[in-house]
Amino acid sequence: MAVFLATFIVGVLLDQWTKSLALTHLTTSSDVPVLGPFVRLTLMHNPGASLGVGSSMTWLITVFALVVCLFLSVLGLTTRNLWWSSVCALTVSGALGNVIDRFMYADGFLNGTVVDFINYGPFVGNVADIVLTFAAVGMIGGVLLGQRFGVEWIDTLLFGHDDAESDQTSVQKQQEQTSDNSQDMTNNHGFEQHQIDHTSHKDTM
């Protein structure tokens, strides 16, 4: 839980702080070079989703983002895998960072625009978009590295039924082996105690 909350808070605060700086120091006519011609700072108010996608469905994007944030928050707080907890937190913080803009700058039903200011040339984004990109890379990396989420239906979805069942069987076998070892140790201890008692009885006689 601590990893999820820390990652989430840092992501949202960083996004909102940089947007505040952009609104204070940039205008829609600004063109500030950062990495030569590749990355520039240009203020833009985007009604769509990340990187300008779906600009005609602002309210629908907002509702969908809220549902995703709620769902991933539950998963992120449920899993004990630090990798997936971080990935969920990054996704929620990135999505919620843009949702906050839609509430703050709305003049109708969830139709506010998102503050974008990082100009890559073909599109303009913000820190929330970068966070979401890291989250996407984390998801792919988690699957490729075999990071188990710890929730059966999600592990089955990500890795297949056979792998999830194999993991569960392996855990069960390990538990059974541990139980058998404990039983053997108990039996051996009882046998040794019996031998000691028998020897003591003979010595007494």
Are 131 and 118 a contacting pair, CB within 8 Å?
A: no
- Say how many C-beta atoms besides its own lie within 10 A of residue 72's C-beta: 21
| Catalytic annotation, pick one of 129, 167, 180, 197 | 129
Give the strand order in the sheet containing 39-46: 32-35, 39-46, 114-119, 124-125
Tokens coding 155: 């592990």
Query: H-type helices in 37-160, by residue range?
Result: 58-78, 82-104, 127-144, 152-159
129 is catalytic: yes
| Catalytic annotation, pick one of 31, 116, 167, 197 | 116
Which of the residues are catalytic?
116, 129
